[in-house]
């Protein structure tokens, strides 16, 4: 099955049945066509197999002390930091991909971890003791709620309002959406319109994706000369939105199709 179709099939499943490791690697495969999914899954298996004990403490020491996985402080916005296979190779990443690493290796060990989508800095949370948090970006530092709040204020400033809900667990779809949002921001800042198209396409497959995602995809496709594909997406958004805005996007589709004649 083609990688985009496989991604769409996985994220359409009930959330509890979506394999986070495979979804993360499929995102990476869109940016790295030579990626071999089975090989990368085996690398995750090997990380779990070499962990000395099936405990959270052992997992943290294994990944973030012995193997040296850490945050990329030199080039945070390097796209490789969002590709799980490259995180495995370089042992550098951003908070969310390092958290995905911890969660997926932890699952193999029977160490249940949940993602925590704290604004500005992703963390993981122990499912057994929900008062224990881990910051994979900062060497696997173990935090309590107070330390999480302090980290939030270091990112956003002392006047920013912290809410306990920021520490609630997020599911696989939430993790996936945030990974794609990070890549969207990276490619927008780099002016990489070709890469932006596949990121926006994957976003449209997420359950509940708004029509605005389809509009963004249409605009990106048009910007790289894929007028027929762009018109198709504008037409889809027009049907979903209806009304005056739908008519406007319908006209955008017509103008693009006229360019094909």
The confidence score (pLDDT) of residue 254 equals 87
pLDDT bin (cut points 50, 70, 90) of residue 253 is confident
Q: List 70's β-bridge partners, or say none.
A: 92
Return the structure tokens found at 255.
């103008």
pLDDT at residue 1 greater than cutoff 70? no
The confidence score (pLDDT) of residue 180 equals 98
> What percentage of the chain exceeds 70 in pLDDT?
99
Question: For residue 261, what are the CA distances in angstroms to 137, 177, 224?
Answer: 52, 37, 18
SS3 track for 159-176: CCCCCHHHHCEECHHHHH
pLDDT at residue 258 greater than cutoff 90? no
The model carries a pTM of 0.95
Segment holding 7, helix H or strand E: helix 3-11
Q: Which whole number is the average pLDDT over 147-160?
A: 94
Would you list the domain boundaries of the chain? 3-170, 210-258
- Where is average pLDDT lowest: 159-173, 210-224, 235-249? 235-249
* E strands in the chain: 70-71, 92-93, 113-116, 123-126, 133-135, 141-143, 169-170
The confidence score (pLDDT) of residue 256 equals 87
User: Distance between CA 59 and CA 47 in Å, rounded?
Assistant: 10
Return the structure tokens found at 97.
């991909």
Picking from 199, 261, 250, 249, the residue whose alpha carbon sits closest to that of residue 224 is 199
Segment holding 39, helix H or strand E: helix 37-49
Tens digits of residue pLDDT in 64-115? 999 999 999 999 999 999 999 999 999 999 999 999 999 999 999 999 999 9
Return the structure tokens found at 115.
């993602």
Q: Which whole number is the average pLDDT over 42-58?
A: 98
What are the φ and ψ backbone dihedral angles of 176, each rounded to 5 degrees?
-60, -45
DSSP state of 79: G
Helix (H, G, I), strand (E, B) or coil at 125: strand
Tens digits of residue pLDDT in 227-252? 999 999 989 999 999 888 989 988 98
């Amino acid at each position: 099955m083609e990688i985009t179709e496989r991604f769409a099939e996985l994220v359409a499943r009930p959330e509890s049945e979506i394999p986070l490791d495979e979804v993360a690697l499929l995102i990476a495969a869109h940016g790295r066509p030579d990626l071999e999914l089975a090989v990368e899954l085996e690398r995750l298996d090997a990380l779990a197999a070499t962990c000395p004990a099936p405990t959270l403490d052992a997992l943290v020491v294994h990944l973030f002390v012995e193997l040296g996985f850490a945050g990329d402080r030199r080039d945070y916005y390097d796209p490789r930091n969002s590709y799980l296979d490259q995180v495995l190779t370089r042992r550098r990443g951003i908070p969310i991909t390092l958290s995905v690493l911890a969660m997926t290796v932890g699952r193999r060990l029977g160490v249940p971890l949940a993602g925590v989508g704290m604004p500005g800095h992703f963390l993981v949370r122990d499912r057994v003791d929900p008062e224990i948090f881990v910051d994979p970006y900062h060497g696997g530092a173990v935090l309590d709620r107070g330390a999480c709040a302090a980290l939030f204020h270091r990112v956003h400033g002392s006047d920013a309002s912290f809410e306990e809900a920021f520490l609630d667990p997020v599911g696989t779809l939430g993790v996936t959406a945030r990974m794609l949002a990070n890549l969207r921001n990276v490619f927008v800042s780099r002016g990489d319109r070709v890469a932006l198209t596949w990121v926006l396409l994957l976003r449209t497959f997420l359950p509940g994706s708004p029509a605005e995602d389809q509009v963004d995809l249409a605009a990106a496709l048009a910007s790289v000369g894929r007028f027929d594909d762009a018109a198709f997406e504008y037409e889809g958004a027009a049907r979903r939105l209806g009304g005056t805005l739908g008519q406007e996007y319908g006209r955008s589709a017509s103008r693009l199709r006229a360019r094909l004649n």
